Structure 1
Amino acid sequence: MPLPLAFRHLVDDAAVFPPGLAPLPRAVTEHAGHLASAHAALVGPFVIGADRLAELAELAGPELFPDGLRVSVVTAPAAIPAVLAALAATDRLVPAALEVRPDPAQPLRDQIDGLAAQSLPGAMYIEAPRPATPAWSEALAAVRHGFRLKFRTGGTEAAAFPTEDEVAAWIHDTVAAGAAFKCTAGLHHAVRHTAPTTGFEHHGYLNVLLATARACSGAALPAVRAALAERDPETLARAVTALPAADIAAARAAFTSYGSCSVLEPLEDLAALGLLDATP
């Protein structure tokens, strides 16, 4: 059975990043396994730091990836020339995107304009500042260059998790600007929850999907926030299932993917909610 549009290529494989921190050789082998599995359509590119491209190219042999390994490269603006050189030096890595974390010591608008002046491969994501900061409006200016935004929705400490109000503002403003975005960190499960071991408030990727659909259909900010706040799995699953196909398509055009250190956890959550069949 084909994977529903709502979940196609939803999960970028960030296995080597915290909290997973998988050894790169194992992560590469497991990524190849995901791409050869029944859930291959769930999986997006392999996310890798700029400093590990050469190591990754050695591991991405044609026996694992006959057409090359699609990668999304996390980089600082200053490292982009080295990234482009590393990608040009191998035919094993296929650039799907660059995920740029701006230098906080430099004006954001200048960095965005500098990136726009370069010829860059794949999609370009600019990591966004919190929406209450003056830099947020500058981040939205990236839209005029065709860039996308990247929202950091969690981390290894409580302060790294933005509030529902912040994520709602991110989504609402970005959709209103006609831009697309991805998320990274913290979206370990489908539904918003409090992690029992840390007490951290985790957003759910289904909540983000529903909130994006609401924003795309013209809902006001409180309705977007309400979708992010929903904690009941059955209620959330019903709401997502009830979305018209056009709303799903619009939501996924806006919410392109999210980076996860596990591909199987999202798969298992969706299966548990009855939203897809996880049978191998």
Structure 2
Amino acid sequence: MSRSTGFPHHARIFEHLVDDAAVFPPGLAPTDVAVREHVDLHHGPYAAQLGPLLVPATAAAEVAILAARDPRASGSPLQVGLVVRPGGSLEPLTDAVHLLRDEPAVHVASVEVGWSPAWRQVLGLGLPVVVEVASGAAQAHALDEIAGTGTQEAGVRAKFRTGQTPTWPWPDEAALAGFVRATVARRVAFKLTGGLHHVVRGDDRGEPMHGLLNVLVATHDALEGAGTAHLARTLGVTDVEHLVERLTALEAEDIERLRSSFTGFGCCGVLDPLTELEALGLLPERTSA
């Protein structure tokens, strides 16, 4: 049994926080494996912390078949987020949404696209929209457009990539701090993707990685008016006990504001951050069978 923090309202911080990106790099799980294991997780002890399964829009038909074959999906539809990577065509996304609307075993929780001049087309789908933005000057322009949609009413969030890819350098503390500060200033909710496998800032097999607790605390500080330099320092903290103390000191209303701003993140190995959170006593206690 995990130890308790004595923090009765803390569970809300991690509620539906981790989206399952198992099929995307570097995980690259086959779709059938990803669907089966996601349903297993959804019926397991981490269900409350789990977000939707993220899948390419082009895989919608396969996902529908796989979900329909699983009897567990009949009573509790598979929650999915349909993704078109930056630069991809939006047509498969529209086709996928129309296909899955007639599939009772699948529920589309959101659609995710990269920013482009055509991104607003997906607003007509009537679903929550996540828009991945770049860095630098292009980011400010994209966030201004997202803010201009009336994000609360339209259900539009921004997305920023925190992990390194062959075409995307790792964004350091200053870059991530700038994004968090920019979204909070515009009252735009956001999610992150890539690289948040661990609870604290560090390195994984020689690659730098941001920490989940760092991001949560930095988001709270941004909501309290902290500037970019302060947020960058918070994102660089490696003292896990300090971060836990900061987080467990939050009141219920602080947590609601925090999660309304930082809504979640995609991770190809969802158990990585969840088991670390459990080891720190930050998830609700569960007894062994």
Q: Which of 27, 36, 41 is the matching residue for 1:29?
A: 36
1:248 positional shift: 1.6
Match status 1:161 vs 2:167:
no
Amino acid at match of 1:169: G
Aligned partners of 1:191 and 1:233 also within 8 Å: yes
2:193 maps to amino acid: T
Instruction: Quote the sequence identity (%).
Output: 37
**Judging changes above 3 Å, is the alpha-carbon distance between structure 1 residues 157 and 240 closer, same or farther for their aligned structure 2 residues?**
farther
Unaligned runs of 5+ in 2: 1-7
Partners of 1:23 and 1:29 lie apart in 2 by: 10
Equivalent residue in structure 2 for 1:99, among 92, 99, 112: 112
State the match for 1:42 in structure 2: 49
- Which residue among 93, 105, 112 is the counterpart of 1:80? 93
Rounded to whole Å, the distance in 2 between the matches of 1:38 and 1:247 is: 26
CA contact (8 A) 1:6 1:248 kept: yes
CA distance in 2: counterparts of 1:27 and 1:167, whole angstroms: 29
Q: Distance in 2 between matches of 1:159 and 1:184?
A: 12
CA RMSD of aligned residues (A): 2.1
Q: 1:176 aligns with which of 176, 179, 185?
A: 185
Post-superposition Cα deviations, 1:129-167, rounded to whole Å, max 9, x if no partner, equal 10x223432333212222210111113459532111111
Task: Kindly state the Cα deviation for residue 13 of structure 1 after the two structures are TM-superposed.
Answer: 0.9
Q: How does 1:201-240 map to 2 (within 5 A)?
A: 201-240=208-247
- Asked if 1:127 corresponds to 2:140, the answer is no
Deviation track 1:230-269 (CA, whole Å, cap 9, x = no partner) reads 1121121111112222222111111101011122111111
* Partner SS state of residue 60, structure 1: helix
Q: Does 1:257 align with 2:264?
A: yes
Name the structure 2 match of 1:139.
143
Instruction: For residue 21 of structure 1, give the secondary structure of its aligned residue in structure 2.
Output: coil
Q: TM-score, normalised by structure 1?
A: 0.89
Contact 1:12 1:260 in 2 (8 A): yes
Is the counterpart of residue 190 in structure 1 residue 192 in structure 2?
A: no
Q: Is the 8 A contact 1:268 1:278 kept in 2?
A: no
CA distance in 2, matches of 1:278, 1:216: 32
Are 2:10 and 2:248, in contact at CA under 8 Å, matched by a contact in 1? no
What is the CA-CA distance between 1:73 and the residue it aligns to?
0.6
The one-letter code of the counterpart of 2:162 is T
CA contact (8 A) 1:267 1:278 kept: no
Counterpart amino acid of 2:186?
A: A
Q: Distance in 2 between matches of 1:201 and 1:158?
A: 16
Structure 1 segments unaligned to the other structure (5+ residues): 103-107
* Contact 1:158 1:200 survives alignment (8 Å): no
The residue aligned with 1:15 is: 22
| 1:151-197 Cα distance to aligned partner (Å, 9 max, x none) | 111134595321111111111110111110111111111111112x2
Q: 1:51 to 1:203 in 2, by over 3 A?
A: same
Q: How many residues align?
A: 269
Q: Which of 261, 266, 280 lines up with 1:273 in the alignment?
A: 280
Question: In the alignment, residue 80 of structure 1 is paired with which amino acid?
Answer: L
Structure 1 residues 125 and 273, CA gap change in structure 2 (3 angstroms): same
Whole-angstrom distance in 2 between the partners of 1:48 and 1:83: 11
Return the structure number with greater relative CO, CA threshold 8 A, min gap 6. Answer: 2
Equivalent residue letter for 1:233: V
TM-score, normalised to structure 2, is 0.86
Structure 1 residues 270 and 278, CA, compared in 2 at 3 Å: closer, same or farther?
farther
Q: Distance in 2 between matches of 1:261 and 1:242?
A: 30
